Homo-oligomer: A and B are copies of this chain.
Amino acid sequence: MTVWDRPEPPARPVPLDRERIVAAAIALADEGGLEAVSLRKVAARLNAGPMRLYGYISTKEELFDLMVDEVQAEILPEEQPGDWREALRVLAHRTRQAALRHEWLADLLGGRPTLGPNGLAVTEAELAALDGLADIDTAIRAVETVSAYFTGAIRREIANLRAERATGLSKRDWQRAHGPHVTRMLATGRFPALAKAVHDGTDVDAETSFATGLDWVLDAVAAKLTPPPA
Contact = CB atoms under 8 A, between A and B. Distances in A.
A115 interface: yes
A91 B128 CA distance: 33
A147 B209 CA distance: 14
A107, A113, A147, most chain B CB atoms within 10 A? A113
Given A145-B149, A193-B124, A110 B156 contact: yes
A152 interface: yes
B217 A149 contact: yes
A121 B201 contact: no
A224 B216 CA distance: 8
A167 to B, nearest CB: 10
Given A197-B127, A219-B223, A220-B217, A144 B156 contact: yes
Interface residues of A, number: 59
B120 A191 contact: yes
Secondary structure of the A contact surface, majority rule: helix
A142 B152 CA distance: 14
Given A149-B152, A191-B120, A140 B216 contact: no
A6 interface: no
Contact of A221 (B111, B145, B216, B221): B216
Nearest to A114: B159
Interface of A: 107, 110-113, 115, 117, 120-121, 123-124, 127-128, 131, 136-137, 139-141, 144-145, 147-153, 155-156, 159-160, 162-163, 178, 181-182, 185, 190-194, 196-197, 200-202, 204, 209, 212-213, 216-217, 219-221, 223-224
15 contacts: A115-B182, A115-B185, A124-B194, A127-B197, A136-B200, A139-B193, A144-B209, A148-B148, A148-B153, A151-B151, A151-B152, A152-B152, A216-B221, A216-B223, A220-B220
4 interchain residue pairs of minimum CB distance:
A152-B152, A148-B152, A151-B152, A127-B193
